[in-house]
Structure 1
Amino acid sequence: MKPPKRLQPLIDEGMVDTVLRQLMSGKEATVYVVRCGDEVRCAKVYKEANQRSFHQAVSYQEGRRVKNSRQARAMEKGSRYGRQMAEEAWQNAEVDALYRLAAAGVRVPKPFICFEGVLLMELVTDADGNAAPRLNDVELTEATALDYHAQLLQQVVLMLCAGVVHGDLSEYNILVDAAGPVIIDLPQAVDAAGNNNAGAMLERDVDNLATYFSRFAPQLASSKCGKEIWGLYQAGLLKADTVLTGRIKENKRPADVGAVMQAIHLAEKEEEERRQRMQMAE
């Protein structure tokens, strides 16, 4: 196929030889199958911020590292330079997370390089060598659902032990290769220790998994693994081989009013930013 404009710099630099086909187009990027020498890989072309349906919420940006304080101030003010820096930080978050998680033994695609807003990485394939399907496109039995759910909980634990929370985990950003689930799409990944919303995000990720797999294995609907995992992490007791029970002790302590007010403040700030983006787009 004719190379898309955004992939031409990689071709010019010799990183990509041929663009074979478009693999998929999602809310944040378009992915192409490319040939690099003797290997077939995939190239994830990030969409411009105004073309994405998944916007950078304040809750995801918190705790992300930038090069210097000037960039941090610009990002906070939302200036043109700040928006450019925020965009780079958003793209780098996935690259950093992939390297970090691959080193920790998490089943993610192997990254190679991020160049000019394009992430070049491993093409995940099925047993026949074809591009692996998404989890939501795979027919599951009850036994397989229970197995995949257990595998993914283990991956979530490994991710958290590496200090990373996916932040948008669902059946739509999990692939299934010959060995089982592979987690993808990590530009919204957050640092577990540096983001005050990480616990809520992790619980939502785990709840999403339970909700999906309970369609095939109803007994998973009552699982409380998200709260259990985060509780163990906060207590410093979470390990890669931790055996989860899916149960938690009832917390009878008074609600943390300060945390609730902070969550409300963040939601209001995100709504104000959304309105500003809409006004800028008009």
Structure 2
Amino acid sequence: MHPGRCLLAIDQSLPCGSSHAFPIGSILKVPKRIQPLIEDGLVDKVLGSLMSGKEAQVFLVLCGDETRCAKVYKDVAKRSFKNAVQYQEGRKIRNSRRQRAIEKRSKFGRDQQEVVWQRAEVDALYKLATAGVRVPKAYGFFDGVLLMELITDGEGGVAPRLNDISMSAEQAVRDHATVMTYVLRMLCAGLVHGDLSEFNVLQDASGPVIIDFPQVVNASGNNNAKTMLQRDVRNITQYYAQYAPELADSHYAEEMWELHEKSELDPDLKLTGKFKFSTESADVDSVLHMIDLAYEEEMDRQDRSENG
């Protein structure tokens, strides 16, 4: 049998109660990109599909006696993530041959651009874990497949996204402060998430865990970094403000960005959420750009809500 067409029965102990899990007893074709990991002993078994997003599909896999996630990135032709170029601005490419190929836009260059896009997530996971941000632990990146920790809830099942849960006002205030601290630490590490929302934060027994970083932005090298930081903070604040309305009046993004520009950021800084806005006339181009980004985000949000 062709190795890419190997079939496996779904494990009946699949720790997922979501609609993304395959029915017990069904047969799963091993994804072509995961097959080499099985042959190399990095993965023992594919348990099922956890979710399919705009840039990748995530599978539950068994590695020894531990259940992990295998994130299989979609080919660029199948990926629906919008405006990738504006996210890639400012990303450093250490390999000069790869950089030249990308600039020439040859087939090899386009392939290498995909590698850079995909590696951005695993690089961010390692960097942010060191910076004190709660993210899934990365176990390695193998030809378009990211092996990483499965975040679980208090009962051992797959941890839910914020979009799938509700909470008290007290918890909303507490968890919002935690996420703002993580956003601060990301900025201290030179990164902006770029797509932060209730769809990209999981909730385990210890609190929020931030996921999905392929679109991560270089805070100093990307001209859109400030706008994306503001959008990230606005999106996640709107979610928590459903339960604690007072959060809607906070201005954490502006507070953080001003400190960033002054080189006064500290990962352990206690943020206030307060900011004194300038009375000078607004930058119309920047405002219109923010409106465009907000519209695109709302379209993406509706797509994700409809597709689960």
**What interval of TM-score do these two structures reach, taking the shorter chain for normalisation?**
0.7 to 0.9
Equivalent residue number for residue 180 of structure 2: 153
Q: Structure 1 CA distance, aligned partners of 2:191 and 2:258?
A: 15
Equivalent residue number for residue 131 of structure 1: 158
Equivalent residue in structure 1 for 2:90, among 52, 57, 63: 63
Equivalent residue number for residue 47 of structure 2: 20
**Contact kept in structure 2, 1:49 and 1:55, CA below 8 Å:** no
Equivalent residue number for residue 98 of structure 1: 125
Question: What percentage of aligned pairs have identical amino acids?
Answer: 56
CA drift at 1:260: 5.0
Map Cα deviations across residues 128-149 of structure 1 (whole Å, 9 max, x no partner).
1111111110111211111111
Q: Structure 2 CA distance, aligned partners of 1:166 and 1:253?
A: 29
Paired residue secondary structure (1:49): coil
Q: Structure 2 CA distance, aligned partners of 1:74 and 1:56?
A: 21
Q: 1:80 to 1:56 in 2, by over 3 A?
A: farther
- Counting only pairs closer than 5 Å after superposition, residues 1-282 of structure 1 correspond to structure 2 as 1=10, 2=28, 3-253=30-280
| TM value normalised by structure 2 | 0.80
Q: 1:175 to 1:214 in 2, by over 3 A?
A: same
Map Cα deviations across residues 182-213 of structure 1 (whole Å, 9 max, x no partner).
00000001121222221111111011111111
Q: Structure 1 CA distance, aligned partners of 2:78 and 2:220?
A: 31
Letter in 1 for 2:241: S
CA drift at 1:56: 4.9
Equivalent residue number for residue 279 of structure 1: none
Letter in 2 for 1:18: K
Q: Judging by fraction of residues, say which structure has more helix.
A: 1
Q: Structure 1 CA distance, aligned partners of 2:83 and 2:106?
A: 15
Paired residue secondary structure (2:228): helix
Paired residue secondary structure (2:77): helix
Mind listing any 5+ residue stretches in structure 1 that lack a counterpart? 268-282
Q: Structure 1 CA distance, aligned partners of 2:78 and 2:193?
A: 22
Between stretches 233-242 and 113-122, larger displacement belongs to: 233-242
| TM value normalised by structure 1 | 0.88
Paired residue secondary structure (1:205): helix
Q: Structure 2 CA distance, aligned partners of 1:12 and 1:82?
A: 29
Letter in 1 for 2:60: V
**Contact kept in structure 1, 2:84 and 2:215, CA below 8 Å:** no
Mind listing any 5+ residue stretches in structure 2 that lack a counterpart? 1-9, 11-27, 294-308
Q: 1:211 to 1:260 in 2, by over 3 A?
A: closer
Between stretches 32-41 and 190-199, larger displacement belongs to: 190-199
**Contact kept in structure 2, 1:76 and 1:82, CA below 8 Å:** yes
Paired residue secondary structure (2:255): helix
CA drift at 1:59: 1.5
| CA root-mean-square deviation | 2.3
Q: 1:71 to 1:15 in 2, by over 3 A?
A: same
**Contact kept in structure 2, 1:17 and 1:37, CA below 8 Å:** yes
Q: Structure 1 CA distance, aligned partners of 2:116 and 2:73?
A: 13
Q: Structure 1 CA distance, aligned partners of 2:210 and 2:101?
A: 32
CA drift at 1:255: 5.3
Letter in 1 for 2:98: Q
Paired residue secondary structure (1:143): helix
Map Cα deviations across residues 76-126 of structure 1 (whole Å, 9 max, x no partner).
443322221111111010010000001111100000111010000011111
Equivalent residue number for residue 272 of structure 1: none
Q: Structure 2 CA distance, aligned partners of 1:61 and 1:76?
A: 13
